[in-house]
Chain A
């Protein structure tokens, strides 16, 4: 048992199991642009739902006024107004998502660097072990041959 390797593997497993750092690994799987883009697309979907809900609540609150003054309302300007507010809210939240996702990605990248160094170290340990395994049978064969030929080794 290689104590150093066990320590390394434990550290790697702990990093992957931890809720926060595990999420970091999920984040850095993507390219930064894709990660932010996916967030913005999701944001458009969520903000649209939220805006429809907000409109419904607003309509409940003001339905009496609207039904009383139906004749004086221009549908075109009302629709324009509704779309304008939607655009403003969507733009604000998209900026927010962009900023938050950028910061989150950069932080995740910083935190996972050490983890990847550990992974490389582990891979190096395995390769060294493989190399040692490959060398060992040749040495054993050489030793056997040396025994048969009375101490001389054939190259």
Chain B
């Protein structure tokens, strides 16, 4: 644990020292990966698949706040949908407009889920989104998790819509009706929305527990809630068993991501926790004060530096000899 704390502290220091350069580079990489993934997955509008344009937009995202990247990603998706058909594009634009007006304007810091949700789903860790939202946000983030599910579900429907439009068996209107019904009224969709919201709420509630290691407990609790609700919900509501290996892989990888997030965001030294009790005229107070790991890390770093300065232990040997004398 000491080694991990040291590594974390050094990573933090590295980011703090060069955040002016490192953050834009990271944002550029994230935007590039995101836009490339969207191009590969959708790719309906030829002009957007140009590498030059992707690089240009990634540079733009690198200098914008992270919520700007979400807006660029959403516009990118809408434009691809226009490439599929005018009506699909209009529905996509309407959906993102509704998401922005009805939900994300109240929780603007959660805007990245619009693009991180689809990416998480594509790499097979959709559970990581509600876990991350629960850790970084509050109960209102349950709504952000819900809109992320809607966005992911919409993207999943697009290949089928493209196939139907190409087959020409249905009219444009009929295809759109089936798309909207699949997004808004399907049982699978309702179940996914409920699971995402419940996972966020589980994490947020468990985070407030007055025990040790609450953040780790909340990540584990959220992952367990996701797993149980998916298993039970699929068999009861959808009357079909979920793919257990894929589900377990999703939950375990998301659990790892959640633990890493908790490790970097909330590091307390429970071994030095103090329980204090005192009273005033109206209340009796039971206070638990848990120190952050910063102080301990500094001591550990000093010890490590001392070791670096004195690799063969000459100084310690000399001190021991002097003490013996």
Contacts and interface: CB of A to CB of B under 8 A. Distances in A.
Q: Do A and B come from one complex?
A: yes
B273 interface: no
A50 B180 contact: no
Interface stretch (B94-102, B156-164, B305-313, B317-325): B94-102
Nearest to A52: B94
Interface in A21-74: 46-47, 49-50, 53-54, 56-57, 60-61, 63-64
Given A53-B94, A56-B94, A96-B106, A61 B101 contact: no
A132 B105 CA distance: 51
A100 interface: yes
A60 B176 contact: yes
A92 B311 CA distance: 68
A58 B65 CA distance: 34
Interface string B105-127: 11000000000000000000000
B105 A46 contact: yes
Contacts of B106: 96, 100
A95 B140 CA distance: 16
Interface residues of B, number: 15
A46 B98 CA distance: 10
A47 B98 CA distance: 9
Given A46-B105, A100-B106, A57 B94 contact: yes
A61 B181 contact: yes
B176 A50 contact: no
Contacts of B105: 46
Interface residues of A, number: 16
A60 B173 CA distance: 7
A101 B161 CA distance: 41
Interface string B186-206: 000000000000000000000
Task: From A61, A63, A64, A93, name the one whose CB has the most chain B CB atoms within 10 angstroms.
Answer: A61
Interface centre among A19, A60, A63, A96, by most chain B C-beta atoms within 10 angstroms, is A60
Contact of B180 (A19, A49, A57, A96): A57
A60 B172 CA distance: 11
Interface string B66-104: 000000000000000000000000010010011001100
B302 interface: no
B91 A50 contact: no
Given A46-B105, A63-B173, A53 B181 contact: no
A92 B184 CA distance: 22
A61 B175 CA distance: 10
For the complex of A and B, 6 pairs with smallest distance between CB atoms: A50-B101, A53-B94, A46-B101, A61-B180, A50-B98, A61-B177
29 contacts: A19-B65, A46-B101, A46-B105, A47-B101, A49-B97, A50-B97, A50-B98, A50-B101, A50-B102, A53-B94, A53-B97, A53-B98, A54-B98, A56-B94, A57-B91, A57-B94, A57-B180, A60-B91, A60-B173, A60-B176, A60-B177, A60-B180, A61-B177, A61-B180, A61-B181, A63-B173, A64-B177, A96-B106, A100-B106
Interface of B: 65, 91, 94, 97-98, 101-102, 105-106, 173, 176-177, 180-181, 184
